[in-house]
Chain A
Amino acid sequence: MTIKVYELGGRDGFRYCPFCWRTLMAMRHKGLHEFERIPVYYRDKSPIAFTEQGLTPVLVDGDRWISDSWEIAHYLEDTYADRPPLFGSDMARAQASVISAWVLQLHRPGLVEIVLWDAFEHLDPEDRDWWREVREQRHGRLEDYKEGREERALAWRQRLEPLRVTLSNQSFLGGESPAYADYIVFGEFQYARCISRVELIEADDPIYDWRERMLDLYDGFARAAPHESV
């Protein structure tokens, strides 16, 4: 039976949820190339009502379902143990959660504010009223984020220093080859790339080259996704 991934859907086929991208990349990493991607919209979570929660991604594999990208990663590692490892050891699992927590610190406040207006524009039109109401309670008027992306990106870029140092010494966070830690961080870049033309990093940055390598993985899987940035 084909594996199903329920992911956040945007307008015109855009799929930009960073946590869903972690799952998608992890599946390709495990050699799971055939799977069905089902969009779920903010206004109607009925497709994942069986999980009794409202967050994507959700993975359905045979008669099992798993929600939460972190849980999905562990499920994939344990279920497809004979495939290339996402972690490879319990220590690596534990340490990946440190990287995940660091990414969350960069996500908000941080990347979310850089591309807030872009995210609004890439919503399915019928999701926009609800989303505006919820986001404006947290961030203020969405229109205030239309300008100033580049300035906010400049400040954010500087917070990536530890990543920059690591990637100037090794090809991937997972060492010689990509691992789940890479997908955790890549989800953020792919999220921005899908919805915004903002240049998050400069071409002479080691992070830029790493992102290129990530986009090339699995026959350019992530590169082929509908996107705004070059």
Chain B
Amino acid sequence: MTIKLYELAGQGDAKISPHCWKPVYALHHKGLEFERIGIKFFEKDRIAFSGQKLLPVLQDDEKTICDSWAIAEYLEEAYPDRPLFGGEIGKGEARFIHDWTNTVQIFAFRRLFILDAYNTVDPAEQAHYRATREGRFSKSQEGLQSDLNTIDHDAPPRRRWGGGYGGTLEDMQADRDTHVHDVRKLLEPIRAVLAHQPFLAGDAPAYADYSVLAPFVWGKSVSNFALLDPDDPIYSWRDRMYHLYDDLGHKTGYLV
């Protein structure tokens, strides 16, 4: 039976969740055939079999696995060829990079694309998206706020993470031309590593790379905003990553 991956979808079946891009790449890495099934916000009853409402969900034969990290762990165990992690220690480290993506990177990216993401959602679901997003992100994520404040002590309050983040989706995205500079600084650890090795996992890409790539693919699937400078080492890494698996990243969404 073909493996099925259920992903969050918007208009035209665009895949609009950064978390769902991680298993997409992990499945390709393992060389597995799989079917991608888009689920819109109001179609969550289609994943009722999983006993919860969050995406991604993976179905492999009798097994149902929820949560992107659990899916990666499952794939590594069930299909040990072409490792995603590099042993137990590598798996522990990859978990940290996965958590960095979730707590730092995705949160930082979201403000760059939030209105574009809204416009990509099915029109019937946009009111719901707006209501949940404007509420959710008004609670500033203090860790990241602090990181950005540290990077830019002299920024006027509106440019800081918390300031101005409690408004509408339009407000959140409005200052992205300045905010993007803070986001680029936040990516410094990734940049420093890619200056001396081709991939985060070494000579070839693995889960650590897919984790950090996922928010970029999500970004280009909803927005044409240029997040990186072409002379950034992350830019050339990202281009190598977009080439993988029959140009999957390049073919997705906008040309950025």
User: Given that A94-B202, A101-B189, A156-B146 are contacting pairs, would A88 and B95 also be in contact in the complex, using a CB cutoff of 8 Å?
Assistant: no
The answer to the question of B142 belonging to the interface, with a C-beta cut-off of 8 Å to chain A, is yes
Q: Which residue of B lies closest to A154 (CB)?
A: B146
The minimal Cβ–Cβ distance linking B185 to chain A, given in whole angstroms, is 9
Contact string, A80-109, partner B, CB cutoff 8 A, digits 1/0?
000001111111111111110110110001
The minimal Cβ–Cβ distance linking A98 to chain B, given in whole angstroms, is 5
Residues in A with CB closer than 8 Å to B147 are 158-159
Summarize A's interface: helix, strand, loop or mixed: helix
The answer to the question of A170 belonging to the interface, with a C-beta cut-off of 8 Å to chain B, is yes
The minimal Cβ–Cβ distance linking B24 to chain A, given in whole angstroms, is 20
The answer to the question of A160 belonging to the interface, with a C-beta cut-off of 8 Å to chain B, is yes
Q: Which of B56-64, B168-176, B190-198, B220-228 contacts A (4 or more CB under 8 A)?
A: B190-198
Contact B201 A162 (CB under 8 A): no
Q: Which of B99-107, B124-132, B236-244 contacts A (4 or more CB under 8 A)?
A: B99-107
User: Given that A91-B206, A102-B189 are contacting pairs, would A176 and B201 also be in contact in the complex, using a CB cutoff of 8 Å?
Assistant: no
User: Given that A162-B104, A181-B92 are contacting pairs, would A97 and B193 also be in contact in the complex, using a CB cutoff of 8 Å?
Assistant: yes
Contact B188 A175 (CB under 8 A): no
The minimal Cβ–Cβ distance linking A71 to chain B, given in whole angstroms, is 13
CB < 8 Å neighbour of A161 from B143, B149, B189, B202: B143
* Residue from B100, B149, B196, B199 whose CB has the most chain A CB atoms within 10 Å: B100
Residues in B with CB closer than 8 Å to A104 are 189, 192
A173 and B85 CA atoms in complex are apart in Å by: 13
Q: Which residue of B lies closest to A161 (CB)?
A: B143
Q: Footprint of A on B, CB under 8 Å?
A: 83, 85-97, 99-100, 102-104, 141-147, 149-151, 188-190, 192-193, 196-197, 199-203, 206, 208
Residues in A with CB closer than 8 Å to B97 are 95, 98-99
Contact A175 B104 (CB under 8 A): no
User: Given that A91-B206, A97-B193, A165-B99 are contacting pairs, would A85 and B86 also be in contact in the complex, using a CB cutoff of 8 Å?
Assistant: no
A163 and B143 CA atoms in complex are apart in Å by: 11
Contact B90 A88 (CB under 8 A): yes
The answer to the question of A166 belonging to the interface, with a C-beta cut-off of 8 Å to chain B, is yes
Contact string, A59-93, partner B, CB cutoff 8 A, digits 1/0?
00000000000000000000000000111111111
A12 and B188 CA atoms in complex are apart in Å by: 37
Given A89-B86, A95-B208, 20 additional A-B pairs, CB 8 A: A85-B89, A87-B89, A88-B86, A89-B87, A91-B87, A91-B208, A92-B87, A94-B197, A94-B203, A98-B208, A101-B189, A101-B190, A101-B192, A104-B189, A161-B103, A161-B141, A163-B99, A165-B102, A166-B92, A175-B88
Residues in B with CB closer than 8 Å to A101 are 188-190, 192-193
A104 and B192 CA atoms in complex are apart in Å by: 10
Contact A163 B96 (CB under 8 A): yes
Q: Footprint of B on A, CB under 8 Å?
A: 85-99, 101-102, 104-105, 109-110, 155-156, 158-163, 165-166, 169-170, 172-176, 179, 181
Contact B143 A173 (CB under 8 A): no
Contact A159 B201 (CB under 8 A): no
Residues in B with CB closer than 8 Å to A105 are 188-189
CB < 8 Å neighbour of B143 from A94, A109, A158: A158
A6 and B161 CA atoms in complex are apart in Å by: 43
A199 and B203 CA atoms in complex are apart in Å by: 40
A163 and B83 CA atoms in complex are apart in Å by: 24
Contact A175 B89 (CB under 8 A): yes
CB < 8 Å neighbour of A110 from B91, B102, B150, B203: B150
A175 and B147 CA atoms in complex are apart in Å by: 26
User: Given that A91-B85, A158-B142 are contacting pairs, would A98 and B93 also be in contact in the complex, using a CB cutoff of 8 Å?
Assistant: yes
A163 and B193 CA atoms in complex are apart in Å by: 18
Q: Which residue of B lies closest to A152 (CB)?
A: B150
Residues in B with CB closer than 8 Å to A156 are 146, 150
